[in-house]
Amino acid sequence: MTTCDKMIHIKSVLKRIRLSIYHIMDKIIPKNDKLIIFSDTWIGDNVNYLFDYLREDPDYDVLWLAREPKIEKKLLEKYHTSEVISLTSLKGLWYFSRAKISVYGHGFWDYLNFLQEGSPKIILNVWHGIPIKGVKIDYQNMDDDEKQQNNHLTLVNSFFDQQYFQERYQEGIDGTRMVGYPRNQYIHEIITNDNEMDKLREDIISEIPTDPNYVILYAPTFREQTSTELFPFDDFDTEELIEFCDENEILFLIRPHPRENEILKASEYKELFDSDYFIKADKSRFAETQDLLLIADLLITDYSSLVFDYFITQRPVLFIPYDLERYKKERDMPQMYQELAQRGSVDNLDELLVSIEDALIQDKESYRSRALTNFEKYHDYRIDEVIPNIKQLLEDELSNYDLLDS
């Protein structure tokens, strides 16, 4: 065995020991019913929004356990030092073990897999989007006792995603709760307040060198095997697109998935971004995706679940599914996508420009009607009461635990 192999082996052994310590401590340390811990792979999603709401509630003590130093650093720019602790520190181990409720948004890796099925905690999965494409959750390694436990709860928005989670992960998720996502209550609160909407738009537009008539948010998702192409059309003409935006005073905010920010640096898009009508809108410039959804007059995407959040605004959506067949092989996509994209898909630049003009000017009422229909279909909950309903859910679960323990 080489020195390198020995080091890899030692690191693997130490990792297993650390995992065992966290699992044992979690099971033997008495729990604090008021303590809720949060962790996520990145900042600014449902975990973050729920944290923001509950940190103002005196009934709970909330603590973000940062899974890595760069997340801890960013969080400490926003929150008090008493609200953010490194997950891997001794304090992190203690608070991880003491918490009765844990919240995550992507998977147990949000907690570096220290959190596992079989934990005595109430585990709340607030997720990060209605599954327009297949999601990856692995419950194959659970034993029979863990499969029967009912303390792992997943928030859903409608019958569609409730059925999707229950059918696909019936062995691992026994408890979906149709109360909606915290980030969607935020959208509702802002969009129903004219003053807040005006302020938000002004704040964002002030960071941009033009004051457009219309704002388009283009937010494609990521690919597993290839990089996303922003305008994958045989007839694509950079000058024609810029001229169209100039004539109609349209601003494109281009926001790739966080895993694909590098495409903003690609040489083929330099001319676009050199114009005043195309803005690199990654998280380094605009932290909150929800804020961009709120000010956008039109959303363009490919397979991103952001469409469901955007339906709350009742504004139009266009799709660029240029690699649908290949993408379906990478990610198991529900039939629902074809239903969503059968109207509003574009395959070339000419269709894109015509569809943008129709959606924003010529036929906007038809697009708005479709958006309203989709909102009603995929949001089966009180959007103004997401946080109160989550709090009630947690109270009910704590009561059920007390009954089981007595």
If asked whether residues 351 and 393 sit together in one domain, one would say: no
Question: In this structure, what CATH number is given to the domain that contains residue 123?
Answer: 3.40.50.11820
389-398 average pLDDT score: 94
* Closest to 152 (Cα-Cα) out of 166, 126, 173: 173
Domain encompassing residue 125: 20-180+384-405
If asked whether residues 208 and 353 sit together in one domain, one would say: yes
CA 7-9-11 angle, 5° bins: 70
If asked whether residues 189 and 261 sit together in one domain, one would say: yes
Top mean-pLDDT range of 27-36, 117-126, 277-286: 27-36
- Does residue 406 or residue 247 have the better pLDDT? 247
Kindly state whether residue 74 falls inside one of the protein's structural domains.
yes
If asked whether residues 137 and 161 sit together in one domain, one would say: yes
pLDDT of the residue at 356: 96
pLDDT at 166 over 80: no
If asked whether residues 82 and 201 sit together in one domain, one would say: no
If asked whether residues 395 and 370 sit together in one domain, one would say: no
**Tens of pLDDT, residues 56-107:** 999 999 999 999 999 999 999 999 999 999 999 999 999 999 999 999 998 8
Kindly state whether residue 1 falls inside one of the protein's structural domains.
no
Q: Could you give the residue ranges of the DSSP H alpha helices within 206-348?
A: 238-248, 270-274, 289-295, 306-310, 324-330, 336-341
**Tens of pLDDT, residues 306-344:** 999 999 999 999 999 888 788 877 776 666 777 777 678
If asked whether residues 194 and 94 sit together in one domain, one would say: no
d(CA 17, CA 249): 59
pLDDT at 349 over 90: yes
pLDDT of the residue at 363: 85
If asked whether residues 116 and 156 sit together in one domain, one would say: yes
User: pTM score, two decimals?
Assistant: 0.88
Question: In this structure, what CATH number is given to the domain that contains residue 261?
Answer: 3.40.50.12580
Kindly state whether residue 393 falls inside one of the protein's structural domains.
yes
Q: What total number of domains does the chain contain?
A: 2
